[in-house]
Structure 1
Amino acid sequence: MTVLERPAPAAAPEAPARTRRTTAWLLTAGMAAALLLLVPVAAGTGAYPVPVGDVLSSVQHRIGLGGAGLDRVTESVLWNVRFPRIVLALLVGASLGCAGALMQGVFGNPLAEPSTIGVSLGAAVGAVASISLGLTFLGTWTLPATAFVSGLGTVLLVYAMSRSGGRTEVVTLILMGIAVNAFAGALVGLFIFLADTAAVNQITFWQLGSLAQATWPKVMAVLPCAAVGLAVAPLYARRLDLLALGDRPARHLGVDVERMRVALILVVALLTAAAVSVSGVIGFVGLVVPHLLRMAAGPGHRFLVPGSALGGAVVLLGADLAARTVAAPAELPLGVLTALLGSPFFFWLLRRTRRRQGGWA
């Protein structure tokens, strides 16, 4: 072997990077295929079954690509009941999945999720207050509006209380989020105590999480927030990769860490508050989906952020389909179903993380 041939093995480190890129493309294709399969199946499944062929024919007819219109009842079931729910599930799932990936990147912790900074319980305070006090100043939009404003305001409060000397430390944000979550939980309990029986039932239903009340106006209310958040989030992917090296190395590499953290916290608040305001509290999507994708394709945020949005949409649509069909004709609360599936995963994830760090403290 000549001297010129000997450096060839130096190319070996490229293999893991190529493998991860291939895995990322395969995962994206798999999730997209799952989404294309789930949408017509979810549209056709329910108390009033519609064959998948009829679903596709109705869609083609509506968008002017041929097909044939169905009878009036079937068209009403599809376009006034099923499709609004499907689109809302996709928007809420994508928002929660993307918000979870951003939170884990900002905090550098795979156990972080949107509720860490109080947005979920903050939104719950606004929703529970509007139900308990009988607020109707915006009609049917009162509950979503109060939940959205309360969730966004809670995040801003956590950030303002965590800021000191022009900077915000991650540990301080987490601790402040824990404190504000505890206070918000106490307020929720107080409003439930003051509510009458009918209001308590409505509060309980909202807290369990559900997409049963999905309508096109609710879809249009979530769409602008989700579109802005999902469009902005990937722009920070490369800087999140640099932030994984630590705050100081990221600053040396030209990242304005404080400004990025503020921007991403606002994006997380926007995505999560909008989702929670129309669906209630749905947990573990923002925790489970990003971590599964990270384990499969590595920690690169250029795939992880949009991949988590796509994965969240697939998971929540599948979970909503299961919630509607597992106990038919009854319907399981969506938040309960995701918690039942997500809690064992969280326990496994916690033990796995501790083992990698040298055992339990």
Structure 2
Amino acid sequence: MWITKQAQPTTLLVLTILLVGAGVAALFTGTIDIGVASLFDIARPDHDSARLIVMELRLPRVLLAGLIGAILALGGVVMQALFRNPLADPSLIGVTAGASLGASLAIVLFSATGVGLMSLTTVSIGAFVGGLAASYLVYQLAKRGSEFSVSTMLLAGIAITALAGSLGNLMDFFADNAALRQISLWRMGGLDSANFERVTVVAGPALVLTIAALHYRKALNVMLLGDSQARYLGIDVSSVRNALIIAVAIAVCTSVAMGGTIAFIGLIVPHMARLLFGPSHTRLIPAASLLGAFLLICADTIARTVLAPVELPAGIITALLGVPFFLYLLNRGAKHA
């Protein structure tokens, strides 16, 4: 049973404090020790190295992790509501598989033409275009004139994901050793290339998705009852679904392009938020955003420090954290069945 309605604002405040605390802790946690005193003295001229580490390396990484975590979690909340399926997440509409194919294609093509090491900008653009193209194709396959079939979209997403995976394997076959390693690392997900430009790129879609989700929060509550009931109660189901799927697709494509494949955030975090706040999207949307940001910041901090000076991809940590919780949910659901 979730917490009482009266305690929910306090819980949201606690989550906000935990998020800020995790971000601050991540700023002075790493291979090079930056003490709390140095953290607050980085403006002094004699602290150039500390200022460089904190302001140019760790701060954008923390901000990017928070934004991507929030996008993936919020995308999961929206997709689970639209599909009325607790196992839905943003990858269901082909975003992740399409982005992976786009990134692989960019790496292999540029490697084959002798450009050498890939610029991350090129890979990011390839991932964004691939994810957006896959999402658009899945959405078009699910439309029948003015009608929209949720079940068809689910099946189309599975088919496009399988197709993109097969083409991605074909790219792996033709890739040389250097390109193959880069493809593998990108698919694991990582935030080691974070900078303020990437933060700016991700912030826009994150804001749009948040505004769209909050604007349609009551419509999402009604749509949980089914499309026919939502139409009967005056909800324009088609326009709500169109707006939210577009917002999710663009935001998630951007986040995957900037950080690679981050597993389980979009699937697990909505369940965690729902266990605390219940099914109402009025509280569920901000709670999932805060939890997603918090979880990915913590996962990235662990990835940077657990085997320091070696950095693990953040996607590995989120998978290791997400699988046990997912199994717990399955076991909990079996007991209540």
Is TM-score (shorter-chain normalized) higher than 0.5? Answer: yes
Pick aligned residue for 1:74 from 37, 50, 62: 50
Larger RCO: 1 or 2 (CA < 8 Å, sep 6+): 2
Would you say 1:185 and 2:161 are equivalent positions?
Answer: no
1:99 is aligned with what amino acid? G
Change (3 A) 1:69 1:167: farther
Which AA in structure 1 matches 2:265?
V
TM superposition score normalised by structure 2:
0.94
Offset, 1:239: 0.3
Q: Which amino acid aligns with 1:54?
A: S
What is the identity, as a one-letter code, of the residue corresponding to 1:37? G
Equivalent residue for 2:235, pick from 243, 252, 255? 255
The whole-number CA distance in structure 1 between the counterparts of 2:320 and 2:225 is 34
Give the C-alpha shift of residue 26 in structure 1: 2.8
Any gaps of 5 or more consecutive residues in structure 1?
1-15, 62-67
Partner of 2:15: 31
5 Å-filtered alignment, 1:271-286, equals 271-286=251-266
Aligned to 1:3: none
Contact 2:99 2:127 in 1 (8 A): yes
Please, which moves more after superposition, 218-227 or 250-259? 218-227
Counterpart residue number, 2:100: 124
Paired with 2:303 and 2:185, the residues of 1 have a C-alpha distance of 14
1:110 deviates by: 1.5
Q: Which of 256, 261, 279 is matched with 1:299 structurally?
A: 279
How far did residue 326 of structure 1 move?
1.4
| Counterpart code for 2:160 | V
8 A Cα contact 1:93 1:312, kept in partner: yes
Tell me, yes or no, if the aligned pair for 2:94 and 2:134 is still in contact at 8 Å.
yes
Note the 1:45-84 alignment, pairs <5 A. Answer: 45-58=29-42, 61=43, 68=44, 71-84=47-60
- State the match for 2:87 in structure 1: 111
1:65 matched to which residue of 2?
none
Equivalent residue number for residue 42 of structure 1:
26
Cα distance in structure 1, aligned partners of 2:151 and 2:332: 22
Distance 2:328 2:299 in 1: 20
Q: Which moved more, 1:211-220 or 1:246-255?
A: 211-220
Instruction: Give runs of aligned pairs for residues 161-310 of structure 1, distance below 5 A.
Output: 161-310=141-290
1:311 maps to amino acid: L
Contact 1:285 1:338 in 2 (8 A): yes
Q: Distance in 2 between matches of 1:139 and 1:46?
A: 26
Contact 1:208-1:336 within 8 A present in 2 as well? yes
Contact 2:31 2:304 in 1 (8 A): no
With the length of structure 1 as denominator, give the TM-score of the two structures: 0.88
Distance across 2 between alignment mates of 1:56 and 1:174: 50
Shift of 1:293: 1.1
How many Å apart are 1:227 and its aligned residue?
Answer: 1.9
* Counterpart check, 1:146 vs 2:122: no
Quote how far apart the aligned CAs of 1:182 are: 0.5
> SS of the residue aligned with 1:133?
helix
Shift of 1:166: 1.7
Contact 1:40/1:52, CA 8 A, preserved across alignment: no
- Cα deviation, 1:58-111, whole Å, max 9, x if unaligned, reads 3xx5xxxxxx55511111111111111111101111111111111111111111
CA distance in 2, matches of 1:165, 1:267: 21
* Letter matched to residue 204 of structure 2: P
Q: How much is the aligned-residue C-alpha RMSD, in angstroms?
A: 1.8
CA shift in 2, pair 1:252/1:196, >3 Å: same
CA contact (8 A) 1:206 1:281 kept: yes
What is the alpha-carbon distance in structure 2 between the residues aligned to residue 31 and residue 142 of structure 1? Answer: 36
In structure 2, what is the equivalent of residue 12 of structure 1? none
Tell me if structure 1 keeps the 8 A contact 2:141–2:152. Answer: no
| 269-278 or 20-29: bigger deviation | 20-29
Aligned to 1:346: 326
Q: Report how many aligned residue pairs link the two structures.
A: 332
Question: Runs in 1 of length 4+ with deviation above 4 angstroms?
Answer: none
* Alpha-carbon distance in structure 2 between the residues aligned to 1:198 and 1:142: 16
| Equivalent-residue separation in structure 2 for 1:296 and 1:70 (angstroms) | 46
Q: Give the drift of 1:351.
A: 3.8
Question: CA 1:296/1:69 → structure 2, altered by over 3 Å: closer, same or farther?
Answer: farther
SS state of the match for residue 49, structure 2?
helix
